[in-house]
Amino acid sequence: MKTILVTGAAGFIGSFVSEKLLSQGHSVVGLDNLNDYYDPTLKAARLARVQALPTADRFTFVKASLEDQGPMRDLFESQHFDGVVHLAAQAGVRHSLSHPHVYIERNITGFLNILEGVRGQRASLGIAGPEHAGSGPHLVYASSSSVYGGNKALPFVETQAVDRPVSLYAATKKANELMGHTYSHLFGIPMTGLRFFTVYGPWGRPDMAAFKFVKAILAGETIEVYNRGEMWRDFTYIDDIVEGIVRVLDHPPKAQPNSGEDFAFDHLAAHRVLNIGNHQPESLSEFIAEIENALGIKAKKNLMPMQAGDVPATYASTDALRELTGFSPSTPMRVGIRKFIDWYRGYFDTQTQEQTQG
């Protein structure tokens, strides 16, 4: 049994990762600040679901913000973690256009506090330097497919250049990868950055496509369809994302000898990045059509141009993930959408009943 820190534990992905780790017999310390970027009621409901599990005696919740150095330092000094799954961040490409400072505080300063916390734990174990590279707690952190920016070569492969982001959100995620490599090189921390591709499913975020479309269609409202639906996304179901995260956690990278790379050091850092996507891009129009079929309702559409910060297509190569873990996402979009809609209807029916009773 291990003790794993999961940041963003009341978030969409973090709540499911916490549940999965608990089911495997681990203890989980879940951190979240329950901010109001979207309805905190949904975050509280996710957290309550985890706390109601039969395994919840091994779950500890800590309310704190990543960017607050004092509480983060206290957390790492008060508890030892065998692994860290860092999922908390300020999400949203379009939100980053209007609220840039929040992204720097949460995604850059917040990640720095995680790195410093793990560095401190390694020091307390006597494995602080690069000579112990790859040992100690494995830090798995969320990156994003958005780092690929306007790359035209598909599918996206981890070895592609990602130095031309088209949103501040993407830039912060690329910065995380650079920071991770630096800390791994300097201090030997084993790290894996995971580039997630358009995650959807039950308990998803209200600002994402599946949630917004289903809500609007059921209400008889018009949905905004960007680039007239000619946008391709590698829609990846939540269960596949969680399975990938948990499997990767058990495979920390090791520092490898430099066998000819143009790099002035004998060893490469114990740091890697991996894609987690469904490796089957589908158009936004197809995504909407599947929702219409599942609901039995035709959507009212407002066809819009592409928004600033968006990219025309995402498509993940998952060869590296499969080679490392033996796993590759495979949930068909049709199946995932129906599961999301079943959850959506059940969740909001319950909410309405509780409000009526209250």
- Over residues 213-247, the pLDDT tens digits come to 999 999 999 999 998 888 999 999 999 999 999 99
pLDDT band at 357, cuts 50/70/90?
low
Provide mean pLDDT across the span 118-143. Answer: 88
Taking residue 27's Cβ as centre, other Cβ atoms within 10 Å add up to 18
pLDDT above 70 for 351: no
pLDDT band at 158, cuts 50/70/90?
very high
Measured on CA atoms in the order 282, 287, 293, 295, is the torsion positive or negative? positive
CA distances from residue 347 to 12, 62, 115, 358 in whole angstroms, order as listed? 14, 25, 36, 16
The class level of CATH for 3-199+236-280+316-332 reads alpha beta
The answer to whether the CB of 105 falls within 8 A of the CB of 157 is no
> Which residues are annotated as catalytic?
169
Provide mean pLDDT across the span 253-282. Answer: 90
- Over residues 324-344, the pLDDT tens digits come to 999 999 999 999 999 999 999
Provide mean pLDDT across the span 274-286. Answer: 95
The answer to whether the CB of 255 falls within 8 A of the CB of 199 is no
Provide mean pLDDT across the span 282-310. Answer: 92
Provide the whole-model pTM: 0.94
Q: Break the chain into its structural domains and give their ranges.
A: 3-199+236-280+316-332
